[in-house]
Chain A
């Protein structure tokens, strides 16, 4: 479980390294990325983190992974314990696959063996399985791999680490259709009650079938933070060409067949979620959507 409590991050000098701010700090001259963000990320669930470019997804993930921290103020808690970089007991519970994977001059298999010394639950069997599924070459140097292959190598490391929190920043970038299916299968097969997977993505539809919970970031905070189950229960996603339906809608978007709309769910039957529509609706007026949830 990961908890983020009242997190504010900004740049005191634009372009410099991001820093965590507290209430006592002077905000005025700075560029705030996230303000007062609080999240509770529970075990046994797959979380989708979405938002437009630059909204702070990567910054948030960097913070959760311990790359940004402040000793005097603990804002991130892993399994209830305050987390900052340098606590191997806690950082071994996280495996973070960054958006851009580094060109390391080490062989894939050697790097896996290196990582296995730092992740106590690392499984070489799982690693081998992932490599086979992705069709990678064990003996290849990581910096010789293509963008997609590098991604796949790091995804293999992630699943093999058996870390209880796997964090993926734009994992689908650079992956072809087959690899994307492999990734989906790996996410599906690796989920257990004590594991958490957080996926930040632009391509929500690629992984929507795998999600338990959606977090949408906008305006320096999380404007939507609900489970997929609840969203399907509380909201109804319909497609209709009746103009009168549009008036009842919480939000609508034109489509080839008429209008895609969100209505309050009165039928009592869970609806399938149109993620693109939900995202646009939340960005448009998050309060209107959120008011329907408990």
Chain B
């Protein structure tokens, strides 16, 4: 029993770690360009400092949210086990559930960590002491954006407890790529499906933002999609365990 649990833990750690490897021929240039784009976002942050306080904050938050999503989807970093390795991926001693869920989870975690370190770090380093910070009433050393605001499009404390909103929005953010990732037969298309899903998501969320501008209707939409996301996620987890699949070997 004890040995079994250690084995399970090792598989979990091993699969989480598969989210991190660099794709071959991903030039340092591409990475630099990406960092440069983020830098531009940070610059944009400064340029809009003469807007009204609340609008500025919302726009800044949206910009960071969108760049986060872009980062998650851009295949600069590729999973270790890509289509060239689908046979090796299938041979790896882990259940389909473990492989799909943990590797995508791992990728989300690693990329998110990287994003926060780079973006927020950059932001803090470059712009501490700017008039914009002062106008927001924040002190030096504080995060420029409050992380709570980063993760939500709007919280409705009157409808439900705060934690429910958090959970729903978390699923909203994560369900689409997991949906796209798990529903494919092999890891062959996972990376691309992931990217397409996220691109669609970016477009959709931007559209929603501008239409509803954080109004009540938008928040209901968030709740609906959050539930759909949960259902989709559960369905795909079950599906990936029970499906019968053959590998083109």
Contacts and interface: CB of A to CB of B under 8 A. Distances in A.
Interface residues of B, number: 36
A6 B4 CA distance: 32
A58 B22 CA distance: 32
A62 B86 CA distance: 13
Contacts of A91: 91-94
A89 B24 CA distance: 32
A58 B24 contact: no
Nearest to B14: A117
A102 interface: yes
A106 B79 CA distance: 11
A68 B14 contact: no
Contact of B10 (A71, A106, A120): A120
B246 A96 contact: no
Nearest to B95: A86
Interface of chain B: mostly helix, strand, loop or mixed:
helix
A105 B21 contact: yes
A88 B244 contact: no
Chain A CB within 10 A, most for which of B95, B96, B248, B249: B249
Contact of A88 (B90, B98, B249): B98
Nearest to B90: A67
Contact of A86 (B10, B23, B24, B96): B96
B116 to A, nearest CB: 25
B239 to A, nearest CB: 13
Contacts of A141: 24
Interface of A: 16-19, 58-59, 62, 65-72, 85-89, 91-92, 94, 96, 98, 102-106, 114, 117-120, 141, 143
19 contacts: A17-B249, A58-B249, A67-B247, A68-B247, A69-B246, A70-B244, A71-B244, A86-B95, A87-B95, A88-B7, A91-B94, A92-B7, A105-B23, A106-B21, A106-B80, A117-B10, A118-B92, A119-B93, A120-B3
